[in-house]
Amino acid sequence: MTSFNDFGLVEPITRALVDEKYVTPTPIQAQTIPLAMQGRDVIGIAQTGTGKTAAFALPIINHLHTKRLRPEKKACRVLVLSPTRELSGQIADSFRAYGRHIRPLAIALAIGGVPINKQIRSLAHGVEVLVATPGRLIDLVNQRALRLDQVEVLVLDEADRMLDMGFIHDIKRIVAMLRKERQTLFFSATMPQEITKLADQMLRDPARVAVTPQASTVEKVQQRVILTEKASKPALLAELLKSEPVERVLVFTRTKHGADKVVRGLQNAGHAAEAIHGNKSQNQRERVLANFRTGSLRILIATDIAARGIDVDGVSHVVNYDLPNIPESYVHRIGRTARAGAEGIAISFCDYEEAPFLRDIERLIRMAIPAIDRRTGQRPAHRPAQQNAGNRNGGRPHRNGHQQRGHGGGNGGGGNGRHQGNNGHRSQAPGNGHQGRYPSQNGQQAAPRAEATSGEPNGIGNVTFLQRPNEPRRNAGHRTQS
């Protein structure tokens, strides 16, 4: 499909797409929309930035328009489950934008962190589309403000993140409340075993569509890693913010506590910085994000979960203050810069304990990231993190299927970046410490680590990442709720 007109979408939708200036469907849209319009269940493997929201929203709105039914009281016809408040808000905005010429089209948002009463009121007369995070959805059902027996279409977005965030039981509870005759559209950036199992339970004869975004994001971003001691990271960050031509920088930490610590350190060094993470109220998060979007805040510190699904234009730099222990998270993180073909720079700090994470990342992205060695001291004699490494997940439940990865032969060659399980422990190949491979050479650029790519095919998906507009799209004047 090369044009949105080829799908047979109703005219009010194609008109909205003209308003949105969408000309060509993205690969995930080209694959998903025809299947979803036939009523098929779909498993879509795609991440934020590939246009996946429209891939499910357009056929859904088309269905709602062609099969007009008055929603029953306290019921919804379409339920979209998403892991975070921010992503839920963006999805609801997208439904509003694509459905702006269709009336009535009631779209409600049910997310935690804001008072529940307004949400209860917005559901009283029933809605066409409800976008929700799992916890708040269950609260609404428990308070008898919502019934789920009328759901015709279920969307599960970012299923792998749901698993990461410990929502799997909530999801199963919610699915058990839905009727069996429904369409299910299931999206996940990755398909670890647990997610495949969940999909098997939820979907009927699903069609599978996939875009492989990882490496294409990676290709557009100029990446660097700075080998450093943990204790030097605060000073290194402050120094970078002075030396780099930073327009807007997103700094990732692994934990909420870590994020707050970085903010304090930067503020002490005279930089205005703020953090978003799960402990901040919804209002705080929205205020900080709005400031970041407008550019009045230049430095934003975030955890992976808080940053998920947030698309802000003009992020010139991503700094991985802590390296993620899940290699796919690295790709998600650096995908926040270099959107829509823009140039982006990703700088990662890697201390001794994080060396195994770096190795996993390089295997996944199938390239060696150029390194600068800024280590000054001796490597610690004991490296307790080697035992702990598999457990550095910000206190969150482990992501099954990703943790249990070994490190193969240790010379970085071989395979497709996926490793065999080794009983759930992250361990380095004997006698092949990462530090040994990159002898200290203060301040100098180490040679790119070509061995990590040796023998690798450059089998990289060709997926374009798209930008979200700076301001959320609003369509005033018709029946929408939040």
Q: Give the whole-angstrom CA distance, residue 103 versus residue 59.
A: 16
Residue from 469, 99, 97, 113 nearest 310 by CA:
469
CA 44 to chain centre: 14
339 near 273, Cβ under 8 Å? no
Q: State the minimum distance, in angstroms, from the CB of residue 92 to ligand AMP.
A: 13
When the beta carbons of 22 and 292 are compared against ligand AMP, the nearer one is: 22
When the beta carbons of 34 and 413 are compared against ligand AMP, the nearer one is: 34
Q: What is the maximum span of the chain, computed from C-alpha positions, in angstroms? A: 70
134 near 49, Cβ under 8 Å? no
Q: State the minimum distance, in angstroms, from the CB of residue 155 to ligand AMP.
A: 12
Residue 368 to residues 90, 222, 419: CA-CA distances in angstroms? Answer: 34, 12, 17
> Parallel, antiparallel, or unpaired: how do β-strands 76-81 and 42-45 relate?
unpaired
When the beta carbons of 282 and 467 are compared against ligand AMP, the nearer one is: 467
Residue 274 to residues 114, 347, 416: CA-CA distances in angstroms? Answer: 21, 19, 38
User: Other C-beta atoms within 10 Å of 46: how many?
Assistant: 25
When the beta carbons of 48 and 329 are compared against ligand AMP, the nearer one is: 48
Beta strands in 216-343 (DSSP E): 221-227, 249-253, 273-276, 299-303, 317-320
Q: State the minimum distance, in angstroms, from the CB of residue 32 to ligand AMP.
A: 11
Q: State the minimum distance, in angstroms, from the CB of residue 97 to ligand AMP.
A: 8
Q: State the minimum distance, in angstroms, from the CB of residue 59 to ligand AMP.
A: 14
When the beta carbons of 406 and 472 are compared against ligand AMP, the nearer one is: 472
Bond preceding residue 327 cis, omega within 30 of 0: no
Q: Tokens 């998906």 identify what position? A: 461
Q: Tokens 């999801």 identify what position? A: 171
> How many CA atoms within 13 Å lie on the side-chain side of 76?
30
Q: State the minimum distance, in angstroms, from the CB of residue 80 to ligand AMP.
A: 12
Q: State the minimum distance, in angstroms, from the CB of residue 21 to ligand AMP.
A: 7
Q: State the minimum distance, in angstroms, from the CB of residue 55 to ligand AMP.
A: 7
When the beta carbons of 22 and 167 are compared against ligand AMP, the nearer one is: 22
When the beta carbons of 89 and 390 are compared against ligand AMP, the nearer one is: 89
When the beta carbons of 145 and 338 are compared against ligand AMP, the nearer one is: 338
Q: Give the whole-angstrom CA distance, residue 154 versus residue 445.
A: 50
Enumerate binding residues for ligand AMP (CB under 6 A). 22, 24-26, 29, 48-54, 466-468
